[in-house]
Structure 1
Amino acid sequence: MRVNYVGPLVAGLGHPALEGYDTTCFGTSCYLVEVSEEAGVDGPLIEGDVLVVDEGRVPQHNDLAVAVVEGEQRLFNTVRIGNSLLLVPPLDKSGAVPARWSDLRGVVIRQARRYAF
């Protein structure tokens, strides 16, 4: 699923989904993305969720990571096999693709939801 870049995570960033979060506890290598409408409104990730991504973290097995595929930032579950990485879309598990380390943009370390249902 696509994600939309929001910006670097700095103290005082005024995104409504981050109300109540202490943003000073995140490092300078963190930035925010927002989950696109492709996610829908049912499941662990829904449209509009804001994710904190750490571009300094190396993806491990079963991490949620952002990678650039076909010119778009997309969200994937990672499958680590030795020194290789496979990217598995969180919604459609049949579309797995091998990862190039240069395409990775970071690992999701926090999820924030603007509205609780």
Structure 2
Amino acid sequence: MISVRVPGLAPPTLPLALSPVRAGFPSPAEDRMEAGIDLQAYLVADPLATFLVRVAGDSMCDAAIQEGDILVVDKGLTPRHGDIVIAAIDGEFTVKRLHRKGSRYMLLAANPDYPPIVPAGDQELQIWGVVTACVRKFR
């Protein structure tokens, strides 16, 4: 878990700039801050249905998901075609993009070095949740 909430105590908030930061030249006029943001409230829509998982491997690198990232996963959402999901095939967990073709499902990596995972007739595919956010530390 990221944190433990104690009833009656306000969640910690961090300052949030009023203007988005540009990847070009900075403007000194854009240094105003708004009240703050509760990162847990921002990242987690349904705390009772949400869990976190750390990424291992590089199969989703072209979706900007890298080894060591922490994924926010909502198991209460209905998975849709194109969603990034946490799935299990015969008990082996993976993070992949869910692809539906007719009545068949497959799991697609976001790295051309990995082939699609197409469950065979005797394999069980379970979707554990939909990835809703990715958290990465730079330092």
TM-score interval, smaller chain: 0.5 to 0.7
Instruction: Give the unaligned 5+ runs of structure 2.
Output: 6-13, 15-36
Aligned match for 2:128, one of 102, 105, 114: 105
Aligned match for 1:22, one of 27, 39, 43: 39
CA distance in 2, matches of 1:76, 1:54: 15
CA distance in 1, matches of 2:49, 2:78: 12
Higher relative contact order (CA 8 A, sep 6+): 1
Is 1:53 aligned with 2:70? no
- Provide Cα deviations, 1:33-81, integer angstroms capped at 9, x if missing partner: 1101x228x6411111111001111111111000112422201111123
Detail structure 1 runs of 4+ shifted over 6 Å in the superposition: none
Structure showing greater radius of gyration is 2
2:33 counterpart residue number? none
What do you get for the CA RMSD once the two structures are aligned? Answer: 3.0
Is 1:96 aligned with 2:113? no
C-alpha contact (below 8 Å) 1:56/1:106 kept by paired residues:
yes
Is 1:64 aligned with 2:84? yes
CA distance in 2, matches of 1:73, 1:93: 15
Q: How many residues align?
A: 101
C-alpha contact (below 8 Å) 1:11/1:23 kept by paired residues:
no
More strand by share: 1
Secondary structure in 2 aligned to 1:23? helix
Instruction: Give the unaligned 5+ runs of structure 1.
Output: 1-6, 13-18
